[in-house]
Amino acid sequence: MSEAKYRVLAVNPGSTSTKFGVFGGEEMVRDWTVRHSDEDLKPFAGKSVFAQFDYRHALVLDELSKAGIAPESFDAVVGRGGKLRPMESGTWQVNDAMLDELRVAPCGEHASNLGAFLAHAIAERAGAPAFIVDPISGQ
């Protein structure tokens, strides 16, 4: 009997890049690193990191489309954990309380705060769960 291979999208938004990859089980199928120049990020200067959400979301969806990968094909989507209150390291399911905390950003703004939002938005399209892994405030 063969083990099922779940299809997972992992998204890692950083300050000057967005990295993401598609996994089939434990095997990486495809990965991307999209660098953001000063010019790319200029429209967001002086704004909350969440001003970049639409830009980064469209970028991920566009790259997936170019590769012939439908967002609806994922069994789960995971984002890089953001600056949350101290919590144990691990995998956490994205929920409204988490999104609210990241939106208000009491622990500070960082591009990784977008990880839960990107995972949530793409997972919704797939009808799949969204997670974050090892929030940067993890213990």
Q: Which residues have C-beta within 8 Å of that of residue 37, sequence separation ≥ 6? A: none
139 is a domain residue: no
Q: What is the pLDDT of residue 120?
A: 98
Print pLDDT tens along the chain (139 aa): 456 689 999 999 999 999 999 999 999 999 999 999 999 999 999 999 999 999 999 999 999 999 999 999 999 999 998 898 888 888 999 999 999 999 998 888 999 999 999 999 999 999 999 999 976 665 5
- Amino acid type, 113: N
Q: How many domains does the chain have?
A: 1
Q: Which domain holds residue 111?
A: 7-133
φ/ψ region of 42 (left if φ > 0, alpha if ψ in -120 to 50, else beta) reads alpha
CATH of the domain at 43: 3.30.420.40
- Burial of 113 per CB tally in 10 Å (0-12, 13-18, 19+): buried
106 is a domain residue: yes
Q: What is the pLDDT of residue 3?
A: 60
- The size of the chain, in residues, is 139
- Amino acid type, 47: K
Q: What is the pLDDT of residue 86?
A: 84
Q: What is the pLDDT of residue 135?
A: 67
Q: What is the pLDDT of residue 1?
A: 41
Q: What is the pLDDT of residue 92?
A: 94
Which residues are bridge partners to 76 per DSSP? 8
pTM listed for this prediction: 0.92
